Amino acid sequence: MTPIIRVDHLSKIFTAYGREVRAVRDVSFDVEAGELFGLFGSNGAGKSTLVRMLSTLLVPTGGAATVDGFDVVRDELSVRASIGLVASDERSFYGRLSCRQNLSFYAALQNVPGSQARLRVDRALDLFGLLPKAGAPFQSLSTGQKQRLNMARALVHDPPILFLDEPTKSMDVQTSDFVKALIKDELVARRRKTVVFISHELYEMDNFCDRVAILAEGQLRAVGTPGELSARLPRRAIYRVEVEGDAGRIAARWQALPKVEAVAEVSRGPSITAFDVTLADEASGVWLDVLNAVAACGGRVEEYRRVDDGSLRDVIRHFTEVRRDNVTT
């Protein structure tokens, strides 16, 4: 089956003040139809630039991409008809028009037949809990309501693909949970929409997306299911160890062990010092060496626990570590 989105060595270079800025560098990945695909990256990672190229708002410097089978450069009108785009900084609604009037205007722009427009608009408003606000002017809405209207607008023409760039920004926790459940259960599971969900927040991605692509410094560092990415982590483990005794001597003893990668002091009290000890191998024999080192220094272990868990947070931390050879100069 042909992927519904195909990105092939896509790049974007901006020139500012005589200096080249490589916002997106040779990125390639596919998205399958009906997939909830996460695009993660910190601020400045290149994710919004990438989405703007896929939605025809920016012309790529190099590479190619197709969306719903249409080339993003040669078939831009067909691409735009196939997608709904939600941008976190949307400012194109008309403040004095009502919610229904705003959506009706955009339905006309998307060539929704007049006989269907009213029904489509009301269904979109109802889906996001905005039907009671249908007659209210846009400028009277709360920030969260404005963002929900933004999402409703993306669905008015019933596109098969949605690009959601930080769609829950400025929403309270309850509203954010409501919208995420709607995306996963209604749009993806029931309506079989393809959703590309863009965020720089880890909690937005974990236990939500089918697959996740991780961007850093404009490059694709990894892509896969959360489970597949976790399996690619090194077998290192991090333990929080609280010890009583000569902290400096204990830390030095740990650092001399061959499979201890790092020792970091976390806190120091009158008698107890806490360390994070990173092991290159989580085998039980290595951990026994760590405990024995404390006893050899005349100290005592008060408490210990593992503080990494192989979650998406650990995966992203691993794949987004700064690589000096990739930094643009």
DSSP 210-226: SEEEEEETTEEEEEE-H
Position 259 in a domain: yes
Phi first, then psi: give them for residue 286, nearest 5 degrees: -70, -45
Instruction: Report helix angle 143-155 to 114-127, nearest 10.
Output: 140
Tell me the β-bridge partners of 11.
62
Output the pLDDT for position 173. 83
- Quote the pLDDT of residue 325: 37
| Residue 66: burial class (beta carbons within 10 Å; 0-12, 13-18, 19+) | buried
Give me the pLDDT at residue 132, please: 96
- Residue 115: what pLDDT? 87
Answer whether 196's CB lies under 8 Å from 5's CB.
Answer: yes
- Do 87 and 223 fall within a single domain? yes
Q: Which two tokens stand for residue 173?
A: 């926790």
Is residue 25 located within the same domain as residue 169?
A: yes
Q: Which domain holds residue 251?
A: 237-309
Instruction: Tell me whether residue 325 is in a domain.
Output: no
Question: Quick count: other Cβ atoms within 10 Å of Cβ 203?
Answer: 11
Model confidence pLDDT, tens digit, residues 52-90: 999 999 999 999 999 999 999 999 999 999 999 998 777
281-297 b/e (C-beta count within 10 Å ≥ 16 → b): ebeeebbebbeebbeeb
Q: How far is CA 228 from CA 147, 212, 223, in A?
A: 33, 10, 9
Report pLDDT digits (tens) over 294-311.
999 999 999 888 876 555
Looking at the structure, tell me whether residues 65 and 132 fall in a common domain. yes
Dihedral of CA 286/291/294/298: which sign?
Answer: negative
| CB-based contact 161:118 (threshold 8 Å) | no
Residues 6+ apart with CB under 8 A from 319: 214, 216, 221, 222, 229
195 touches 36 (CB < 8 A): yes
Residue 157 lies in a domain: yes
**Exposed, middle or buried by CB within 10 Å (0-12, 13-18, 19+), for 218?**
buried
CATH number at 269 reads 3.30.70.3190
156 in the same domain as 66? yes
134 and 242 assigned to the same domain: no
The pLDDT value recorded for residue 235 is 61
Is 179 within a domain?
yes
> Do 187 and 274 reside in the same domain of the chain?
no
The candidate with the shortest Cα–Cα distance to 252, out of 309, 207, 221, 296, is: 296
Q: Is residue 37 part of a domain?
A: yes
- Same domain? For 261 and 184 the reply is no
- Dihedral pair phi/psi, residue 219, rounded to 5°: -115, 150
Check whether residue 264 and residue 217 sit in a common domain: no
Cβ contact 163:54 at 8 Å: yes
Based on the fold, state whether residues 84 and 213 are members of the same structural domain: yes
Residue 263 shares a structural domain with residue 180: no
Number of domains in the chain: 2
Q: Which of 265, 250, 256, 264 is nearest to 300 (CA)?
A: 250
Each residue's pLDDT, cut to its tens digit, for the chain (329 residues) gives 789 999 999 999 998 888 899 999 999 999 999 999 999 888 888 999 999 999 999 999 999 999 999 999 999 999 999 999 998 777 789 999 999 999 999 999 999 998 899 999 999 999 999 999 999 999 999 988 999 999 999 999 999 999 999 888 878 888 888 999 999 999 999 999 999 999 887 667 777 899 989 898 899 988 988 777 766 666 667 888 999 999 999 999 999 998 888 899 999 888 899 999 988 766 657 778 888 999 999 999 998 888 765 555 666 666 665 443 333 32
Specify the pLDDT at position 87: 86
Q: Token match 């997939």: residue?
A: 35
* Whole-angstrom distance, CA of residue 132 vs CA of residue 95: 17
* CATH value at residue 98: 3.40.50.300
